[in-house]
Amino acid sequence: MDYFPVFLDLKNRLCLLVGGGEVATRKGRVLAKAGARLRIVAPEISAELRSLVAQNNGELHEREYHTGDLQGCVLAIAATDIEALNEKISADAQALNLPVNVVDTPALCTYITPAIIDRSPLVIAVSSGGEAPVLARLVRAKLETLIPASYGKLAQLASSWRDRVKARFDDGDSRRKFWEKILQGPAAELTFNGQQAAADELIARELAGDQTQLTQGEVYLVGGGPGDPELLTLRALRLMQQADVVLYDRLVSDGVMELVRRDAERIYVGKRRNEHAMQQENINQLLVDLAKEGKRVLRLKGGDPFIFGRGGEEIELLAQHNIPFQVVPGITAASGCAAYAGIPLTHRDYAQSVRFVTGHLKSDDTNLQWPELANPTQTLVFYMGLVGLKEICESLIAHGRAANTPVALIEKGTTQQQRVLVSDLTSIADVVAANDVHAPTLFIVGEVVQLHESLRWFTPQIKNA
């Protein structure tokens, strides 16, 4: 280890920053965020640095650097493009035993500044020892996606209970086990969701020895998106990693399932036309039963659970039984598949509105409001419309939609097996029949389909047979 990592308390302490340009401004932002008082020295100083100095009662010196500028400071940063000046600042600071950083010149530094993930009071620093700063920033970017911003709230929760927990448990091992339980359990989820009072109540119960609430399970109703796992939300990924049991649908892609916690129990409850692994009523009841056993239950659905996903039906029963639940929206198939096909669902020149329509109803037919759907200035997106495709096209034409209206059928959208078939209302059924298309599919009707050829950007790596 070439550098010893350390966190400095700079609140209300004077720090010298030599330089007034873009690089110096970036350094000034970080120092100001840590509560430091800035002493800025440079012939020309950016407007943002001036503002930072004014905000934290700092000092502004529009002139060349002098050795005396280091007096009273706890650290120094040289952010100029003058090599000789940077060398002098470094030498002067080291003569006074002051920590000094010269931007992009590790040989002149006694400390280096890391890439920072700020979840205050939780702060994570990533450093390459000055050897590969871009790599450190890339690692930081990956960590940013894995550590939700709400972890700061969790750190504040732990801080507020720290003394009481220490008084309750005599030995460090007991305290560690207690905090592991709290920080990975229902109290943490309540904190993430902004329910601070409820989280405090749970911790108080645990300290008092009442474990009834802490053993209560919870259900996470999560939208898994249209297929590409990179379209998952950060919250979805976090809940997928902590669930004890997963109930998943047929439309959840293999790539998304790969991100589920490895040791979680998996229960397939998918549905095909006239073929249900489990009836909806049984799924609803199973969610209740598993939660009552104290399990964290992930109900994972393709797309968005509240858009043709029957998510509302499932949480109704949970609410009746007072089972805690949270809903995480996902990118619905209409948005995801259209975007990956290069088809904007609205466009000032072609469509001023968009409608999402189910391809079959509860009675298993397509008895829709056809006169409304025939409006030529709107885009129609049909979910689950493959079987009734011919009837959909004929009904739209019969109610006034032009027979040559452009349409697109997207198969396995956003995945490496994506295929886009473009035609018009008259011919699309024949095109589909000739190409051996299988669900899941999405059917888009409207003039915006014309943009597919010019706006297509996604090229699947796996060709369909």
In angstroms, rounded to a whole number, what is the distance separating the alpha carbons of residues 159 and 197? Answer: 15
Nearest to 219 by CA among 320, 294, 330: 294
Strands 406-411 and 441-445 turn out to be antiparallel
One pLDDT digit (tens) per residue for the chain, 465 residues = 788 889 999 999 999 999 999 999 999 999 999 999 999 999 999 999 999 999 989 999 999 999 999 999 999 999 999 999 999 999 999 999 999 999 989 899 999 888 889 988 889 999 888 788 889 889 998 888 778 788 889 999 999 999 999 998 888 878 888 887 888 878 888 888 888 898 999 899 888 886 555 556 889 999 999 999 999 998 899 899 889 999 999 999 999 999 998 889 999 998 766 566 788 899 999 999 999 998 999 999 999 999 998 899 999 999 999 998 999 999 999 999 999 999 999 999 999 999 999 986 555 556 788 999 999 999 999 998 899 999 999 999 999 999 999 999 999 999 999 999 999 999 999 999 999 999 999 999 999 999 999 999 999 976 554
CB 150 within 8 A of CB 179: no
Hunting for tokens 């039906």 — which residue is that?
313
Hunting for tokens 């499932």 — which residue is that?
314
44 is in an annotated binding site: yes
CA Rg, the chain, in Å?
A: 29
Q: Which among 88, 271, 289, 424 is annotated as catalytic?
A: 271
- Using alpha carbons only, give the angle 17, 22, 26 rounded to the nearest 5 degrees: 60
The pair of structure tokens assigned to 464 is 């369909």
281 is in an annotated binding site: no
CATH number, domain 218-331: 3.40.1010.10
The pair of structure tokens assigned to 22 is 């873009």
Give me the sign of the Cα torsion angle 338, 339, 343, 347.
Answer: positive
304 is in an annotated binding site: yes
**Edge-to-edge strand ranges of the sheet holding 245-248:** 265-268, 245-248, 296-301, 218-223, 325-328
Backbone angles phi, psi at 359, to 5 degrees: -75, -20
CB atoms within 10 A of CB 167: 9
385 is in an annotated binding site: no
145 is in an annotated binding site: no
307 is in an annotated binding site: yes
Output the furthest CA–CA distance in the chain (Å, rounded).
Answer: 88
Amino acid 205: pLDDT: 86
CATH number, domain 151-207: 1.10.8
In angstroms, rounded to a whole number, what is the distance separating the alpha carbons of residues 225 and 240? Answer: 13
Give me the sign of the Cα torsion angle 296, 301, 303, 306.
Answer: negative
180 is in an annotated binding site: no
Per domain, the residue ranges of the chain are: 14-113, 151-207, 218-331, 339-455
Q: How many helices (H) and strands (E) does the chain have?
A: 17, 19
210 is catalytic: no
Backbone angles phi, psi at 118, to 5 degrees: -100, 105
In angstroms, rounded to a whole number, what is the distance separating the alpha carbons of residues 236 and 253? Answer: 14
256 is in an annotated binding site: no
CA torsion angle 258 259 260 262 (round to 10)? 70
The one-letter amino acid code at 46 reads S
23 is in an annotated binding site: yes
Strands 245-248 and 265-268 turn out to be parallel
303 is in an annotated binding site: yes
Would you call 157 helix, strand, or coil by DSSP? helix
| Fold designation for 339-455 | 3.30.950
Q: Which among 249, 295, 301, 412 is annotated as catalytic?
A: 249
371 is in an annotated binding site: no
Q: Is the fold of 14-113 the same as that of 218-331?
A: no
Q: What is the pTM of this model?
A: 0.71
Using CB atoms within 10 Å of the CB of residue 242, give its burial: 0 to 12 exposed, 13 to 18 middle, 19+ buried.
middle
CATH number for 14-113: choose from 1.20.1250.20, 3.30.1600.10, 3.40.640.10, 3.40.50.720.
Answer: 3.40.50.720
33 is catalytic: no
